[in-house]
Chain A
Amino acid sequence: MKMEKERCLSALSVGEEGCVRALLCDGGIRRRLLDIGLIPGTKVVCIGRSPLGDPRAYSVRGKTVAVRAVDAAKIII
Chain B
Amino acid sequence: MRKRRCEEKREITVALAGNPNVGKSTLFNSLTGMRVHTGNWAGKTVGCAAGFFETDKYRVRLVDIPGTYSLFSHSEEERIARDYISFGKSDITVVVCDSTALEQNLNLALQITEIGGRCVLALNFSDEARKKGIEVDSQRLSEILSIPVVKVVAHKKKSLDALKSLICSLYEAGDISSPRSPVYIEPIERAAGEISSVIRDTGRDGALSRWLGLRLMDADGDFFDELLSDFSREERERAEEGAARAAKILGESGISREELSDIIVERLVEDAADIAKEVTLRKGKDERDRRIDRILTGRFTAYPFMLVLLFLVFWITLSLANIPSELLSRLFVFLEGILTEVCARIGVPDVLHGALVLGVFRTLGQVVSVMLPPMVIFFPLFALLEDSGYLPRIAYNLDRPFACAGACGKQALTMCMGLGCNAVGIVGCRIIDSRRERSLAAVTNSLVPCNGRLPMMITLISVFYLFLMPRANGALTALTLMGFIVLGVAMTFLSTAILSKTLLRGERSSFIIELPPYRRPRFISVTLHSLKDKCLSVLLRAISVAAPMGLIIWIMANVYIGGESLIAAVADFLLPFGRLMGLDGVILLAFILGIPANEIVVPLIIMIYSASGAIGADMGVEAVSAVFANAGWTPVTAICATVFSLFHWPCSTSLLTVYRETKSKGLTAIAFILPTVIGILLCIFINFASKLFV
Contacts and interface: CB of A to CB of B under 8 A. Distances in A.
Contacts of A28: 73-75, 510
A57 interface: yes
A36 B396 contact: no
Contacts of A36: 69, 104, 512, 514
Nearest to B264: A34
Contact of B70 (A35, A47, A64): A35
A39 B270 contact: yes
A37 B69 CA distance: 10
A39 B512 contact: no
A11 interface: no
Contacts of A71: 510-512
Contact of A51 (B100, B397, B513): B397
B26 interface: no
A50 B511 contact: no
A33 B512 contact: yes
Interface stretch (B3-11, B54-62, B289-297): B289-297
Contacts of A54: 399-400, 403
Interface stretch (B298-306, B320-328, B350-358, B676-684): B298-306
Contacts of A50: 297, 302, 396-397, 399-400
Nearest to B261: A31
B104 A37 contact: yes
Nearest to A25: B510
Interface string B102-126: 1110010000000000000000000
A35 B69 contact: yes
Chain B interface residue bracket vs A: 35 or more
> Chain B interface mostly helix, strand, loop or mixed?
helix
Given A28-B75, A50-B400, A54-B400, A40 B266 contact: yes
B273 interface: yes
B96 to A, nearest CB: 15
A28 B261 CA distance: 12
Specify which of A29, A35, A70 lies most central, judged by the most chain B CB atoms within 10 Å of its CB. A35
A23 to B, nearest CB: 9
Interface in B480-527: 508, 510-517
Given A52-B400, A66-B399, A37 B74 contact: no
Contacts of B84: none
Nearest to A37: B269
Contacts of B262: 34, 39
B172 interface: no
Interface in B241-265: 258, 261-262, 265
Interface residues of A, number: 33
A67 interface: yes
A34 B266 contact: yes
B265 A32 contact: no
Interface string A34-77: 11110110100001111111110100011111111011000000
A32 B396 CA distance: 18
A5 B307 CA distance: 43
B401 interface: yes
A29 B104 contact: no
Nearest to B289: A64
Contacts of B409: 55
Nearest to A61: B103
A65 B73 contact: no
Nearest to A40: B266
B512 A65 contact: yes
A6 interface: no
A26 interface: yes
B261 A66 contact: no
A4 B262 CA distance: 24
B107 A37 contact: yes
B515 A32 contact: no
B261 A64 contact: no
B101 interface: yes
B538 to A, nearest CB: 34
A35 B78 CA distance: 12
B297 A67 contact: no
A38 to B, nearest CB: 9
B72 interface: yes
Contacts of A65: 512-515
B258 A66 contact: no
Nearest to B263: A39
Nearest to A67: B512
Contacts of A33: 512
A34 B104 contact: no
Contacts of A66: 392, 396, 399, 511-515
Contact of B510 (A35, A61, A63, A68): A68
Given A36-B69, A48-B290, A65-B512, A31 B265 contact: yes
A71 B510 CA distance: 7
A56 B614 CA distance: 57
Contact of B297 (A32, A34, A48): A48
A47 to B, nearest CB: 6
A37 B397 CA distance: 23
28 contacts: A26-B258, A29-B510, A34-B262, A35-B69, A35-B72, A36-B512, A37-B107, A40-B266, A47-B290, A48-B293, A50-B302, A51-B303, A53-B400, A54-B400, A54-B403, A55-B396, A55-B409, A57-B297, A57-B515, A61-B273, A62-B101, A63-B514, A64-B514, A64-B515, A64-B517, A68-B510, A71-B510, A71-B512
Given A37-B103, A55-B399, 6 more contacts: A28-B74, A35-B70, A36-B69, A61-B104, A66-B392, A66-B514
